[in-house]
Amino acid sequence: MSDMEAEAEADVEIEQARQLSRTHLSGLLEALVFASDKPVKAIELARLASAPVKQVRELMDELKSSYAHRGILLEEIAGGWLFRTNVEFAPFVRELTSERPVRLTRAQVETLAIVAYRQPVTRPEVDDIRGVDSGATLKLLLERDLLRILGKKDEPGRPILYGTTSQFLEFFGLKSLKDLPTLREFTELSDESLRVAEAELGDVLPDAAAPPQATPEYAPPHDTIAPEAPSTSDDLEDPE
């Protein structure tokens, strides 16, 4: 065997070893995410797998693509990676688990929207926008871990400042707050998209030319097996 042939054979063996290592790492990352019931950040996956963060991100993107049209989806939610059931099969999954999706009342959706877009925000500021007392609704959303207390505003009375949580991002299937829809995106919805949204939400959406108003109830877009929230009087009927 000539030196050139030997070098070529050695290169093939090295490449095969690299591919084997990459396949092993991909399987390890898949197993780590599957074993977690909460989103796992890429930096944490890299630490657990003893691998470079850049390589982990590349492999996670490849895994996401491989699951794109399957019953299980790999999604980047709340800054981490998580396996979720495909929303297309939600009715069948709910029947199997005997659970229903968590629903939000109009008052809860309104309050969440205000806090999400204006955080940090105080209760008086939320009340001023909604035109009603939002105390009971804020309390329930805190209990559900959709909102959190960020601190107190530096003004007379030191009102509490509210913000959203990572659970809020997970509930609505958002990677980060940057993924929140803009008013322009809402106004550009086609008639067909509006009809689909109305059918899903069980309410007629407001005129696209006006700012979007909250709907009576909202189910998370991907959380097909979300646990039922604790039953409270505020869950069924808010003050407003």
In this predicted model, what pLDDT tens digit does every residue of 194-238 receive, in sequence order?
665 555 544 545 443 334 444 334 444 444 333 334 344 344 345
Mean pLDDT of all residues in 60-80 = 92
Tokens coding 15: 């490449």
Least confident interval from 97-101, 117-121, 230-234? 230-234
Which pLDDT does position 159 carry in this prediction? 92
Mean pLDDT of all residues in 27-54 = 92
Tokens coding 191: 């008639």
Question: Do 3-85 and 106-228 agree at the fold level?
Answer: yes
Domain boundaries, the chain: 3-85, 106-228
Give percent of the chain above pLDDT 90.
Answer: 41
Which pLDDT does position 176 carry in this prediction? 87
Sheet strands (E) in 78-183: 80-85, 121-122, 147-152, 160-164
CA torsion, points 212, 217, 219, 225, in degrees to nearest 10? 170
| Rounded Cα gap, residues 140 and 115, in angstroms | 14
Which pLDDT does position 93 carry in this prediction? 84
Closest CA to 76 of 60, 62, 95, 54: 60
Tokens coding 236: 């069924």
Confidence of residue 193 (pLDDT cuts 50, 70, 90): low
- The yes-or-no verdict on residue 165 having pLDDT over 60 is yes
Mean pLDDT of all residues in 41-64 = 92
Contact status, residue 162 vs residue 111, Cβ threshold 8 Å: no
- HSE-CB at 52 with a 13 A cutoff on CA atoms is 4
CA torsion, points 135, 141, 144, 146, in degrees to nearest 10? -150
Q: Burial, 178: exposed, middle or buried (Cβ in 10 Å; 0-12, 13-18, 19+)?
A: exposed
CATH for 3-85 is 1.10.10.10
Which pLDDT does position 196 carry in this prediction? 59
Residue 76 belongs to what H/E stretch?
strand 72-77
Mean pLDDT of all residues in 94-101 = 76
Which pLDDT does position 194 carry in this prediction? 62
Q: Residues 6 or more apart from 208 whose CB is under 8 A from it?
A: 186, 187, 188, 189, 194
Confidence of residue 121 (pLDDT cuts 50, 70, 90): very high
- Better-scored residue on pLDDT, 83 or 209: 83
Q: Burial, 234: exposed, middle or buried (Cβ in 10 Å; 0-12, 13-18, 19+)?
A: middle
Report the CATH fold assignment for 106-228: Arc Repressor Mutant, subunit A (1.10.10)
- The yes-or-no verdict on residue 98 having pLDDT over 50 is yes
- Determine if the pTM surpasses 0.85: no
Which pLDDT does position 227 carry in this prediction? 37
Mean pLDDT of all residues in 168-178 = 87
Which pLDDT does position 2 carry in this prediction? 63
Which pLDDT does position 219 carry in this prediction? 43
